[in-house]
Structure 1
């Protein structure tokens, strides 16, 4: 599981993340080449939502919303037992909703994103 945003099709990071130097890294291909084994990745929040479905409070439910509060802030809508990814594979990135016009700069390139004020990283900075 890796923090998004990343391209689901290519399984590579496609945008700025909190992991400096990881933009456009074809991690799946590199891991498969170095191990000779198939690899797959999921966003950390979708993996956590599926963990809840299999082993946690989501057991027995096929529809729910999982709110992720960690280094960033996000969420996943689970529908029919699967995480909804949206048209570009990054649905649920609610931490990147601008809430403070002209606010703190965010690694996504925007300013005033919610996770700049509400996340473990935001708490650490304060």
Structure 2
């Protein structure tokens, strides 16, 4: 825990993730020991719940909630550790598996409550799976 504290105090700017701390020179024990140290500590769950509950909910200009949660199983080609990795769809390779190439992103979008979800292709900017959609 001492190295974790040193890393937090010596970080260049605000700490946005615990994993970042394992990359600082002050945290010499590696990525796995960060979680081992946290597992040995104690968390005041009521205080933590209060802190999380006070955070503002991100909303767009229309007031819709805009969560920033990524639950996809895709690799992260934009990671700092792998700037050369990109993916693109290549047809004719089995079931259209992704391969190195252009970055793509698809979002499941629900425009308003009670309506069905639509798959939005970021690159084309339209609903995927429908011609001219």
Instruction: Compare the two structures and name the one with the higher strand fraction.
Output: 1
In our comparison, the structure showing a higher alpha carbon Rg is: 2
Structure showing greater relative contact order (alpha-carbon pairs closer than 8 Å, 6 or more residues apart): 1
What is the TM-score with the length of structure 1 in the denominator?
Answer: 0.19
